[in-house]
Chains A and B, each alone.
Chain A
Amino acid sequence: MVIALIIIVVVVVLLVVYAVSVRNGLIRRRNQIENAWSQIDVQLKRRIDLIPNLVETVKGYAAHEKETLDAVIKARNSAIAAPDTPNAQANADNQLTGALRQVFALSEAYPDLKANQNFLALQEELTATEGRVAYARQFYNDAVLDYNNKIQQFPGSIFAGSLKMDTREYFEADEAARTVPTVDF
């Protein structure tokens, strides 16, 4: 009789521990999404911060390519000023990518610029940062997928209601952002 009681108590304790871990897991995943979202911003800002240096370096060699450089500065400024919605951010970011591509195409015409160490370093940094932005967005989407799975499946679904958890949206490229910016010579 006592044995049965002990077993029941142990089972109940285990169930409670499990339930707590499930609930905590949901909260952890929700926080993960917030973290992933701000991570995207961090990387975008990092890219924007690299621009002035790039413009100065290019000016030293190709000062009369005013149009291209101005486009970059303009794109940077609108990226800073863009409202904090995903679509506006993505649009501004896309414009910046296009403008930057023009600048790097410039280096083909100016071999001195192309060989400049500073320019090469900046090129590497910008490529890497674009990669980071893409990975940050990927991580965000992965976090959303994981979270959505957990709140929709059993046993997470039990707690999702009481914790007021809804399915989250993925980060999606705007239609405009899908068109590849062209490079004009």
Chain B
Amino acid sequence: MFELVRSNKRRSALLVGGFVVIVVVIGAFIGYIAGFGPWGLAVAIVVSAALAFASYWKSDAVALAVSRAKPADPEAYKRLHNLVEGLCIASGLPKPGVYVIEDPAPNAFATGRNPQHAAIAVTTGLLEKMNRVELEGVLAHELSHIKNYDILVSTLAVTMVGAVALLSDITIRAMWWNGGRVSREGDREDGFNPLVLIGFVLLIVGPIVARIMQATISRRRETLADVSACQLTRYPPGLISALEKLRDDTTVTHSASTATAHLWIEQPMSGVGDEGRLGSFHKLFDTHPPLEERISLLREL
């Protein structure tokens, strides 16, 4: 189990590193084509980072407000608090804020910029439908997100996506205003420049590729959280049983939105009928691995 956690961490580090490199390359290319040079990429990264990190800093408050989460009363939700405290002892983390969301769909999320400023929220649906060990498994998964600094990782990914999108957007507008001419050096006399074509392709495809990479990272972190959760509880059947219940449950979470989708334990939006080629294309953008896959991975432990 320790090995699985370590290899997961290694793989996600490689993914994030690769992502940054790819984004920088794409961004640099777009910047070059647009005539902004390296400054274009730099400015885009700075702006995107500023926006992303502002939201990251306040991520706990924002995510909770958006989902209408309320603090869980320690008396009314004794079992919930007890389970969280037990897991905090096991992980050595300080106890995060515990919140409850009125929603019949079973789901949970974790947020917060670091373990000292973290929060966990569960829906009333989850509390009703899960027994003790299952609830503990879900809470362990959420706590693992906090422990592994997944909010930071996903903020990094969002920053990169934002930078590329920003740059691409500005470039397209610049081209539009310039009447199709991209380079500031004026028209070239020496014929067709192939780099410009590549640049155009990247302009369109760049943001999409960045999003796909972001989703891949998100899925990898979800798997890491699953395995870390089992390392915390030393009891995989708990989380397995919870995931099975989630798989069989069809209620849709209303308190979620596309913006917060990646934080929840289960994809809140009902999947578009995942049939055919278009279905597998959609799968690239899934923030969570399919439940069946998660369950069979945990069964191997």
A138 within 8 A of B: yes
Chain B residues whose CB sits within 8 angstroms of the CB of A124 once the complex forms: 78-79, 82
B209 within 8 A of A: no
Measured CB to CB, the closest approach of chain B to A141, in angstroms, equals: 10
| B79 & A131 in contact (Cβ 8 Å cutoff) | no
Q: Which residues of B75-92 are within 8 A (CB) of A? A: 78-79, 82-83, 85-87, 89-92
B interface with A by C-beta (< 8 Å): 78-79, 82-83, 85-87, 89-92, 234
When chains A and B are docked, how far (Å) is the Cα of A135 from the Cα of B234?
Answer: 10
A128 within 8 A of B: yes
Measured CB to CB, the closest approach of chain B to A31, in angstroms, equals: 12
A131, A136, A143: the one contacting B82 at CB < 8 Å is A131
When chains A and B are docked, how far (Å) is the Cα of A36 from the Cα of B88?
Answer: 12
A87 within 8 A of B: no
A23 within 8 A of B: no
Q: Which residues of A26-79 are within 8 A (CB) of B? A: 32, 36, 39, 43
When chains A and B are docked, how far (Å) is the Cα of A136 from the Cα of B79?
Answer: 18
Task: Known pairs A124-B79, A131-B86; list 9 more (Cβ under 8 Å).
Answer: A36-B92, A43-B89, A121-B78, A132-B86, A135-B89, A135-B90, A136-B89, A139-B89, A139-B91
Chain A residues whose CB sits within 8 angstroms of the CB of B87 once the complex forms: 135
| A135 & B86 in contact (Cβ 8 Å cutoff) | yes
B78, B82, B85, B92: the one contacting A139 at CB < 8 Å is B92
Measured CB to CB, the closest approach of chain A to B278, in angstroms, equals: 46
| A138 & B86 in contact (Cβ 8 Å cutoff) | no
When chains A and B are docked, how far (Å) is the Cα of A132 from the Cα of B83?
Answer: 9
When chains A and B are docked, how far (Å) is the Cα of A138 from the Cα of B14?
Answer: 30
| A39 & B89 in contact (Cβ 8 Å cutoff) | yes
| B90 & A139 in contact (Cβ 8 Å cutoff) | yes
Known pairs A138-B234, A139-B90, A139-B92; A132 contacts B85 (CB<8 A): yes
Q: Which residues of A126-185 are within 8 A (CB) of B? A: 128, 131-132, 135-136, 138-139, 143
Most chain A beta carbons < 10 A, residue from B79, B83, B89, B91: B89
When chains A and B are docked, how far (Å) is the Cα of A38 from the Cα of B78?
Answer: 25
Measured CB to CB, the closest approach of chain A to B33, in angstroms, equals: 36
Measured CB to CB, the closest approach of chain A to B57, in angstroms, equals: 26
Shortest Cβ distance from A130 into B: residue: B86
Measured CB to CB, the closest approach of chain A to B221, in angstroms, equals: 22
When chains A and B are docked, how far (Å) is the Cα of A124 from the Cα of B75?
Answer: 12
Chain A residues whose CB sits within 8 angstroms of the CB of B85 once the complex forms: 128, 132
Most chain B beta carbons < 10 A, residue from A39, A43, A125, A135: A135
Shortest Cβ distance from A43 into B: residue: B89
Shortest Cβ distance from A32 into B: residue: B92
Chain B residues whose CB sits within 8 angstroms of the CB of A135 once the complex forms: 86-87, 89-90
Shortest Cβ distance from A42 into B: residue: B89
Shortest Cβ distance from B75 into A: residue: A121
When chains A and B are docked, how far (Å) is the Cα of A43 from the Cα of B82?
Answer: 13
When chains A and B are docked, how far (Å) is the Cα of A121 from the Cα of B86?
Answer: 17
Most chain A beta carbons < 10 A, residue from B86, B91, B92: B86
Chain B residues whose CB sits within 8 angstroms of the CB of A39 once the complex forms: 89
| A128 & B89 in contact (Cβ 8 Å cutoff) | no
| B90 & A138 in contact (Cβ 8 Å cutoff) | yes
Measured CB to CB, the closest approach of chain B to A131, in angstroms, equals: 4
Shortest Cβ distance from A136 into B: residue: B89
The 3 closest A-B CB pairs, nearest first, are A128-B82, A135-B90, A135-B89
Chain B residues whose CB sits within 8 angstroms of the CB of A128 once the complex forms: 79, 82-83, 85-86
Chain A residues whose CB sits within 8 angstroms of the CB of B79 once the complex forms: 124, 128
Chain B residues whose CB sits within 8 angstroms of the CB of A138 once the complex forms: 90, 234
Chain B residues whose CB sits within 8 angstroms of the CB of A136 once the complex forms: 89
When chains A and B are docked, how far (Å) is the Cα of A124 from the Cα of B91?
Answer: 22
Shortest Cβ distance from A36 into B: residue: B92
When chains A and B are docked, how far (Å) is the Cα of A36 from the Cα of B89?
Answer: 9
When chains A and B are docked, how far (Å) is the Cα of A135 from the Cα of B87?
Answer: 7
